Amino acid sequence: MIVKAKETNEAQNEVVRTRGILALLRHLNRSDTMLDDHVMQRWLLPIGEGKEQPGADVVATWYRRNIFICAKIIQAAKPGDRVAVFFGAAHSYLLRQCISETPGFKLIEANDYLPE
C-alpha cells in the first residue's frame, strides 16, 4: 500500500506540473478518486489478532474523527445557509456521505463550479 501511495503522489505531482493545480483539484473532487483515497486505509484492517485489533482501532478512530467534523459542519449551518467546506482529500468520501445523508442538506459538486 505504501507503493500505491507513492505512485498516487507522483501522479498528482505530474498533473500539477503538466496541467496545473486546477486540474488536480478537479481530479481530487471526482467520486472515483475520493473512493480510492477512502479505501486505502483498509490495509490497516488485517493488523491484529483476537481481541487486540490495532488496525481496526485506527480505522475506527478515522471514522470517528470524520463524524465529529461532520457534526461541527451541521451544527454551524443555519436553515438557508450555503456552506463551503475545505478539507484534505482523504476526508472527502466520509464527509460527503455524512452531509448527503443528513436531512435538510444538499451536497453540491465542486467540479460543477471549477472551470476546465
Domain count, the chain: 1
Task: Give pLDDT tens digits for 76-85.
Answer: 999 999 999 9
Question: Domain for residue 48, yes or no?
Answer: yes
Question: Domain for residue 114, yes or no?
Answer: no
Question: Domain for residue 42, yes or no?
Answer: yes
Question: Domain for residue 54, yes or no?
Answer: yes
Domain with 17, as residue range(s), is 2-106
Cα–Cα separations (whole angstroms), residue 7 to 2, 11, 28, 96: 9, 6, 15, 25
Question: Domain for residue 82, yes or no?
Answer: yes
Task: Give pLDDT tens digits for 1-46.
Answer: 667 778 888 989 999 999 999 999 999 999 988 988 888 778 889 9
Question: Domain for residue 59, yes or no?
Answer: yes
Question: Domain for residue 41, yes or no?
Answer: yes
